[in-house]
Amino acid sequence: MVVAGFVGGWLAAQPTLLNAGEQQNVEESARSALRRGLDWLKSVQRADGSWSDTNFPALTALGLWAFARSDHPDRAEVCGKAAEFIASYAQPDGGIYKRPTGGRGSGGLSVYNTAVCMTALHAWDAAKYRALILKAREFVAGSQLTGDSPGAGGFGYEPPQPRADEVRKLMERGDLSNTAWAMRAMRETQDAEDYRDGARKVDIDWAATIRFIEKLQNRNSDDPENFGSFGYDPGGERGGTAQAQEGKVTLRGFGSMTYAAIEAMIFAQLTMDDPRVRSALEWAMKHWSVEENPGMGQKGLFYYYNTMSKALTAARVEQLSSPDGRVVPWKEQLVRRLVTIQKPDGSWVNDDNQFWEANPALVTSYVALAIESLLGR
């Protein structure tokens, strides 16, 4: 995986606020919470290797990904079963998903499922599943939105298809979450292309993804409260819009999408000198919280923890620092929060189910991945 190196400015490397003993205690707390979470996940894994809703293999892939990055003693057994379950969802078009059988929640979300599944399979056994991953890369690359639609350059839950105008408009609605998942999947599996027969390599249009992403950033310098943050989609359908004093309507930015954008821009190999990246990190510092998803409250809280940890780790940010000198040891604060809210059985869950977060298997996988990221795994 290739990421941009960040140097200089207010995010330059600084001495840690913790002494050696405190640092060790934080790491021990993180490892202990992670082990308890993985133990719980193992205890609820089904005999077929799955977790949670089997209509969506990505939910199992998140658990596989967490175990693949771990040193859990039962890692091989858990991952082997989960990977075979996920591989059974490979479709002739290269995607890894379940075809919908009718009605909401019966399958679909093919781009999201494929991106998460190919990433997890690559993390577990890139060689064994290489052929499947190569086909999945073709599917994701072919799912990038093009043309003059508002989502052009980005990714939605489904690939573009020739349909009636209104349906096509719905299908071609790109969003930042799916775009970030797709970008990470394509960057992390890029080494598979070294094994593709023939000279042609499959990839996405990275420049187009950035053109899509930048549409979602608040860049109004007259609105310092929101400047640098990111919204979910061009229409503001999730997260809403805000109206500045002069009447201009902009997307309302919030924490999880701002971190998703930071991660996505890093995978697109933008540097810290890029004003879009720098302003996003400045907004994140200004609105730092482990109590809520800034701008959304408890909605999507654990997705926020997950994207925050992955983004700051990918950006090589050891601690956040503001221009006025305030320093936030984000790893320590996140670990302490996660330990505090972990359930007695080792799982995590959100009382707010807006984004499926009442599902403990999904949420515990999110947290395990967040902890692994900050531990450098």
CATH number at residue 240: 1.50.10.20
Is 3 part of a structural domain of the chain?
A: no
Q: Which domain holds residue 349?
A: 9-374
8 A C-beta contact, residue 259 and residue 308: yes
Contacts of 22 (CB under 8 A, 6+ apart): 332
CB 369 within 8 A of CB 66: yes
Residue 118 lies in a domain: yes
Q: Would you say residue 159 lies in a domain?
A: yes
Give the residues across from 217 on adjacent strands: 230
**344 within some domain:** yes
Domain-located, residue 1: no
pLDDT of residue 325: 79
Total number of domains in the chain: 1
Q: Pick the closest to residue 120 from 182, 41, 61 (CA basis).
A: 61
For helices 110-125 and 130-141, the axis angle rounded to 10 degrees is: 150
Q: Which of 276, 277, 151 lies closest to 209, judged by CA?
A: 151
Q: Where are the alpha helices (DSSP H) in the chain?
A: 20-44, 58-68, 75-87, 110-125, 130-141, 165-171, 176-188, 206-214, 255-267, 275-286, 301-314, 330-341, 360-374
- Mean per-residue pLDDT over the chain, rounded: 89
Which of 47-56, 173-182, 244-253, 272-281 is predicted with the least confidence, judged by mean pLDDT? 244-253
Neighbours of 208 (CB within 10 A): 15
Mean pLDDT computed over 97-114: 94
In a domain, 2, yes or no: no
Count Cβ atoms within 10 A of the Cβ of residue 86 and give its class: 0-12 exposed, 13-18 middle, 19 or more buried.
Answer: buried
* CA-wise closest residue to 37 among 333, 305, 372: 372
Are the beta carbons of 107 and 99 closer than 8 angstroms? yes
Judged against a pLDDT cut of 50, whether residue 111 lies above it is answered with yes
CA 27 to chain centre: 23
Helix (H) or strand (E) holding 249: strand 249-251
The first and second tokens of residue 189, run together, are 């599996």
Q: Is residue 356 part of a domain?
A: yes
Mean pLDDT in residue range 97-115: 94
User: By C-alpha distance, which of 185, 256, 250 is closest to 217?
Assistant: 250
pLDDT above 90 for 238:
no
Give tens-digit pLDDT for 328-369: 999 999 999 999 999 999 999 999 998 999 999 999 999 999
Cα 240 to Cα 233: distance, rounded to the nearest angstrom: 9
Considering only residues 4 and 343, tell me which one the structure prediction assigns the higher pLDDT. 343
Q: What is 135-170 written as a DSSP string?
A: HHHHHHHTTS--TTSTTTTSB-SS------HHHHHH
Q: What is the pLDDT of residues 168-181, one digit of tens each?
A: 455 568 999 999 99
Tokens of 29: 């707390």
Backbone angles phi, psi at 322, to 5 degrees: -95, 160
Query: What pLDDT, on the 0 to 100 scale, is given for residue 249?
Result: 52
Tell me the pLDDT band of 253, cut-offs 50, 70 and 90.
Answer: confident
How far is the C-alpha of 129 from the C-alpha of 122, rounded, in Å? Answer: 7
Residue 265 belongs to a domain: yes
